[in-house]
Amino acid sequence: MTFFSNIWRNEKSREIIVQIIVLFFLGWFISWLVMNVNANFEALGKDISFEFLFIPAGYDINQYLIDYDSRDSHLRAGIVGLLNTGLVAFFGIILATLLGIALGIIRLSKNWLASKIAYWYVEFTRNVPILLHILLWHGIIINTLPHPRKAISLGEVTFLSNRGFYIPKPLAESGIELVYLFLVVAIIFSILFAKYCKKKQDLTGIQYPVFWINFSVIFFLPLIAFFLSGMPVSLEIPALKGFNFRGGMHMSPELAALTFALGIYTAAFIAEIVRAGILAIDNGQREAAESIGLKPSKVMNLVILPQARRVIIPPLTSQYLNLTKNSSLAIAIGYMDLVATLGGISLNQTGREMETMLIVMLIYLSVSLSISALMNWYNSKVKLVGR
Amino acid sequence: MSEKTYRPGNYPDLPPPPGTVGVYGWIRQNLFSSISNSLLTIISVLLLYYLIDGIIGWFFLDAVFDADSKIACRKINDGACWAVITRRVGQFVYGFYPEAERWRIDITFLTMFVAFAPLLYPDIPKRKWLLYFSVFYPFFAFVLIMGGYFGLQKIEYSLFGGFMLTVILGVCGIVCSLPLGILLALGRQSNLTVVRTLSVCFIEFMRGVPLITLLFVASSMLNYFLPPGTNFSILVRVIIMFTFFSAAYIAEVIRGGIQAIPKGQYEAADALGMSYWQKTRFITLPQALKISIPGIVNTFIGLYKDTTLVVVIGLLDPLGIGRAALADTKWNGLSTETYLFVALFFFVSCFAMSRYSLWLENKLNTDKK
């Protein structure tokens, strides 16, 4: 008896015993699950196989970035869905970032009224579920925008209607290569120039307006090339044919609603992150920078923002991840993203719940794990080295 | 007026310069301190004017509060048609719970505040007695809502809906996920490799996949993992998924709190010869939970908002009721009114939660004194 009580009282051996017990129960639990799945599948005459991925999907997807029709396989339908998820995440992230940063800064501004408006925007937006945002925007576009025949026209080139938004599509013509070439040259030049200026500043302390010079080079050089080569871009303007518009770029009501909703919702969170990040910087930093005579813009760009960035970027990335995961709610309004294609219609048609959900979950999981790994690396890189 | 002379050191205080005090001074400093600031003020005022003008007109002045259909609404006035809500307000609140039994929901809801009061406000008088009620409350609520005992009519899960369903899902998820979240956070910080690995896997998996895929699993696949023939209500399955999902997030929040505790605290506890559980109970958790209150409440708010997702697997939460109303040809196209009404409900409850967390944070903040 003493032998066992000694083992239990020894910290090391107790840890090992506890872990063995936990492992045993885990193994028992997993085998229980597997047995249940086997029994259930046998009763239903099902098996697990991924062959369904290669049979024709047989359903249409109204929006695709790569060629797709209903004779293509489920796998391809899934990829189309994945790309659609990426598309809406991309637009949503751009909108959320711009709006969020603007709101965060307005919230900190000395203007009482503007800061209050930003505050109430944030409170109203983030306290309402994202699904409600999506449905609300979808409803507004579908129910309150006019029919294509009476579409709201912005300068006769862009049209807003309840079938979606139509914007002119730029078409490249021959001679566009020159513009691309100039763009590449301009980018290479600006990288080299920035390096040169950095070196010069380190050596002599002289500063050049690097940003403005590089900005004008990148902007104007391709523009000159554009005019030199005889304006090789034409716009395909959407035109009303029959009941709907033809030509131009089409943004479906679902994509538009999803982009607005995700962007506007996430912007409220980003605004708070930006605000907290700027507030996290000790006031002494600002005062010190002002006392050595830096202009307000320099105080912001050289002192506050570089430090705030360290605080802001990790939660910002997790907001981007949230936005991407929230885009899976697209299924509620019929936008064909990954969950709606592979996890929705493919699942219903083939009856392979296990396999499709496994694939969908693994895709989301690998995206978010790889991004958090990236963030951990970034965190350890920018972490303040403490004593 | 003659100039008075003062001895050095005895000068009276001069009044502050005009334009820095009073209403005028406040306006000048806060709204028109510079050209760009004035511009921002003017833009904000214009924005507010159009917003308020439009909102009041559409919401109240031109709105119709009772009519038989959308067309009837439009005949009366061209503002919002709130009839879609007023005609179905019972459904929005109780779902399809039998009308004669709705008093049971009312009582459960009202007593919920009594049960939560001692937990939320530590200074409440007679706290001890109220706490007994809090412990007893879950059984009380279960019996009252479900029925089947004491002569109460048994009500099927499938009749639950509306705001009542939101509150049930939200409260159950919140109450269950906090203990699980604490355990997971402790597991993640544990010295035992197996326990730590398990916790990390669980947390990362739950945080990595969208909630909606978990709900799909709950609705269509969970039965495969249980012994053949087992079948339990979709409501319970959904609550389990919500609990797991938000427990993973809470675990991460609490882990942040645990890591923020200075190392000296543990060392002092070890020096006193405390066991692991003593250390956890008296040193780690009180401090960690206090730091992580804002994060925990944010997770709760997130969970509460996420209960709307059950509409995708066919439960009739307020959004589901709203969509059913919109599918009715009489109310077709009134989505803005319906969704704004539901949004208002969520705004009020979530805003209240975030205010409470601010209050608690201030109360527990011992640094100030």
- A200-214 pLDDT tens trace: 888 888 877 888 888
* More reliable by pLDDT, A386 or A347: A347
* Band (B369; pLDDT cuts 50, 70, 90): very low
Rounded Cα distance, B303 and B214, in Å: 14
Query: Which tens digits make up the pLDDT trace of A127-185?
Result: 999 999 999 999 888 887 877 777 777 777 778 877 778 877 777 777 777 788 888 88
Of B8 and A321, the structure prediction assigns the larger pLDDT to A321
The pLDDT, as a whole number, for residue B367 is 64
A26/B contact by beta carbon, under 8 A: yes
Residues from chain B contacting residue A140 (CB–CB below 8 Å):
335-336
Stated pTM of the model:
0.85
Do the Cβ atoms of B151 and B81 come closer than 8 Å? no
pLDDT cut 70: percent of chain A above it: 98
Instruction: Output the CA–CA distances (angstroms, integers) from residue A87 to A61, A83, A159, B303, B366, in the order listed.
Output: 15, 6, 21, 27, 48
Chain B contact for A19 (CB, 8 A cutoff): yes
Asked whether the predicted pLDDT for residue B230 surpasses 80, the reply is: no
Is residue A384 very low, low, confident or very high in pLDDT (cuts 50, 70, 90)?
Answer: low
* pLDDT over 50 at A59, yes or no: yes
Q: Between chains, do A144 and B220 touch, taking CB under 8 Å as contact?
A: no
Whether chain B has a CB inside 8 Å of the CB on A146: the answer is no
Q: What is the pLDDT of residue A387?
A: 46
Least confident of A276-280, A345-349, B58-62, B129-133: B58-62
Residue A134 has what pLDDT?
Answer: 92
Contact B211, B309 (CB under 8 A): yes
Tell me which of A63-67, A262-266, A369-373, B115-119 is least confident. A63-67
With contacts defined as CB-CB under 8 Å, which chain B residues touch A332? 311-312
Does pLDDT of B275 surpass 80?
yes
Q: Is the pLDDT of residue B3 over 80?
A: no
CA distance B217 to chain A (A): 8
Interval A179-193: pLDDT, tens:
888 888 888 988 898
Q: What is the mean predicted confidence (pLDDT) over A251-274? A: 91
Q: Is A335 exposed, middle or buried (0-12, 13-18, 19+ CB in 10 A)?
A: buried
- Is residue A276 within 8 angstroms of chain B, CB to CB? no
Q: How many residues comprise chain B?
A: 369
Q: How many Å lie between the alpha carbon of A351 and the closest alpha carbon of chain B?
A: 10
Structure tokens at A329: 């709610």
pLDDT category, A75, cuts 50, 70, 90? confident
Please report the domains of chain B, with CATH numbers, ordered by start residue.
Answer: 22-82 (no CATH), 84-97+155-364 (1.10.3720.10)
pLDDT at res. A292: 92
Which chain B residue has the Cα nearest residue A145?
B333
pLDDT, mean of residues A48-65: 78
**What is the tens place of the pLDDT at every residue in B21-56?**
778 888 877 777 778 888 888 888 898 898 888 888
Cβ–Cβ contact A119 with B under 8 A: no
CA distance B214 to A364: 12
Q: Degrees (nearest 5) of the Cα angle B303, B308, B310? A: 100
Mean pLDDT of A299-328: 87
- A342, A357 Cβ separation under 8 angstroms: no
Closest CA to B135 of B146, B152, B119: B119
Mean pLDDT of chain A: 84
The side-by-side arrangement of strands in the sheet containing A152-154 is: A152-154, A158-161, A164-167, A249-251
Please check the confidence at residue B141 and state whether its pLDDT lies above 50.
Answer: yes
* CA separation, residue B13 to residues B2, B16, B17 (Å): 18, 9, 12
* CB-defined contacts A:B, below 8 A: 158
B308 interaction partners in chain A (CB closer than 8 Å)? 129, 131-132
**ipTM, 2 dp:** 0.85
Q: In angstroms, what separates the C-alpha of B9 from chain A's closest C-alpha? A: 32
What gap in Å lies between CA A135 and CA A66, rounded to an integer?
27
Does the CB of B190 have a partner CB in chain A at under 8 Å? Answer: no
Q: What pLDDT does residue A385 have?
A: 60
Q: Residue B108: its pLDDT value, please?
A: 83
Determine what percent of chain B is predicted with pLDDT higher than 70: 98
User: Has residue B266 got a pLDDT over 70?
Assistant: yes
Which of A113, A135, A331 lies at the smallest CB-CB distance from B335? A135
